[in-house]
Amino acid sequence: MMQNIDEISPEDELIRLLLKRQTELNALLEVTQAINKDTGTPVLIQMLQVILKSYLQVGKLRFLIEKNGSYALLSKYGGDIEHIGALQKACLKLNKIKWPTPLDDHEDPLLKNYDYFIPIYHKRKALAFALIGDFNTSGELLNNDLNFIQTVINVIVVALENKKLFRERLQSERFQREMELAVEVQSMLIPLKIYKDKSVEVSARYIPHQNIGGDYFDFIRLNDHEFLWCVADVSGKGISAALLMANFQASLHAWSAV
Contact, 43 vs 33, CB < 8 A? Answer: no
Q: Render 33-101 in DSSP notation, one character per residue.
A: HHHHTT--HHHHHHHHHHIIIIIT---EEEEEEEETTEEEEEEEESSPPPPHHHHHHHHHTTTT--S-E
State pTM to two decimals.
0.67
Per-residue pLDDT of the chain (258 residues; tens, 9 = 90+): 444 445 667 776 667 677 777 888 888 888 888 888 888 889 999 999 999 988 888 999 999 988 877 788 899 999 888 888 888 888 888 878 888 999 988 899 999 999 999 998 877 788 898 999 998 876 667 888 888 889 999 999 888 888 888 888 888 888 888 777 777 767 777 776 667 777 788 877 777 666 666 677 888 888 888 888 888 877 766 677 777 888 888 888 888 877
How far is 202 from 101, CA to CA, in rounded Å? 77
The answer for 157, left when phi > 0, alpha when psi is -120 to 50, beta otherwise, is alpha
Please name each of the domains of the chain with its CATH number: 9-170 (3.30.450.40), 190-256 (no CATH)
